[in-house]
Amino acid sequence: MSADAQLLALSGGIGGAKLALGLDRVLPAGRLTVLANTGDDFVHLGLHVSPDIDTLLYTLAGLDDPVRGWGRKDETWTFMAALKALGGEDWFLLGDGDLATHVERSRLLAAGETLSAVTERLRSRLGIGSAVLPMSDDPVRTRVKTKSEGWLDFQPYFVGRRCEPEVEALAFDGAEDARLAPGVAAALDDPALAAIIICPSNPYLSIDPILAVPGMRASLENRRVPVLAVSPIIAGQAVKGPTAKMMRELGLEPSAATVARHYEGLVDILVVDEADEGLAVPAGMRAVAAPTWMRTLEDRTRLARRVLEALGWQAGAAS
Ligand code: GDP
């Protein structure tokens, strides 16, 4: 692998950010670009909230709350308490420090900056070495069709209803007309691009919206570099969140094998947990078993090294 080899990692929030952090830590500076899902974005209290971008920024900057798994550590909640006292909308929690991100993002967007430019500013101010890009500067909004309540916007489903209503279908409104963010298109065309990684994110809620932006799925189908995915399902269960529940509701068996079929034709290497060793994968795909449950920072960097190894990246280049 050449000295300037670049990696592009597709990520949602919590699961994806864990591996993104591991990769950021083991790769030489300037080699990693993380492409974030923006299908979860929404306007709340007049502010543009980008949950997956923020989880990635806070995680890569070491500002994330390791207990809750979202938002910033050492957060205070004066704003929420005051809002509640006024009878305001309090179903979506915004910590005081987190609020600053949404206020600043919204100000810059209102001044005419693109989401890419705003994300780049935040990345730079937070001192993050890896690049972080939204999948698109155009709005794409994930919507969830539920059995009991019909179509719900994503955050009212995910946070407001805690993923309780049974899911029948998903849609990514706006995706058809969205364009890949300029940095994403450039990263895909970069001659130095050596591999694409699909992080262990929810395939349906975090990765599919990225693949729905025209050009993205095709660039994986017609890939000129290896694509590696890490399964977010370990021994039939999600580590966190609604992935397994949603798979059952969509009529799919929650398993690494289902993840493998979902990525058929897009992925060359699927990293599965050691608990799923020996998994049969579709033709054209190779399964590699590794410890994929990332509880500690060491787990994250170890999995990142295993991913690079599976891609044939020289250990020396990743030290
Ligand atoms: P969200 O946007 O915050 O829901 O985050 P993601 O879509 O990026 O991550 C959710 C997925 O991450 C779930 O399917 C989890 O099973 C998976 N996940 C979380 N932590 C881990 C981990 O340590 N290892 C693996 N393999 N998957 C994980």
The pLDDT averaged over each successive group of 10 residues in the chain (319 residues) is 87 98 96 98 98 98 93 97 97 97 98 98 98 98 97 96 96 98 97 98 98 98 97 96 96 98 98 97 97 98 98 64
241 CA to middle of ligand 1, Å? 7
Ligand 1 binding pocket includes 155 (Cβ within 6 Å) = no
Q: Which residue has its alpha carbon closest to ligand 1 atom 1?
A: 13
284-293 contacts, C-beta under 8 A, 24 or more apart: 285/260, 287/260, 292/200, 292/230, 292/231, 292/234, 293/234, 293/239
Task: List, in sequence order, every beta strand (DSSP E) within 12-69.
Answer: 32-36, 42-44, 47-49
Ligand 1 binding pocket includes 232 (Cβ within 6 Å) = yes
**In the chain, where the domains are located:** 6-318
Give the per-residue pLDDT at 113: 98
208 CA to middle of ligand 1, Å? 14
Ligand 1 binding pocket includes 229 (Cβ within 6 Å) = no
18 CA to middle of ligand 1, Å? 8
Q: Which CATH number describes the domain made up of 6-318? A: 3.40.50.10680
Give the per-residue pLDDT at 313: 86
Give the per-residue pLDDT at 319: 41
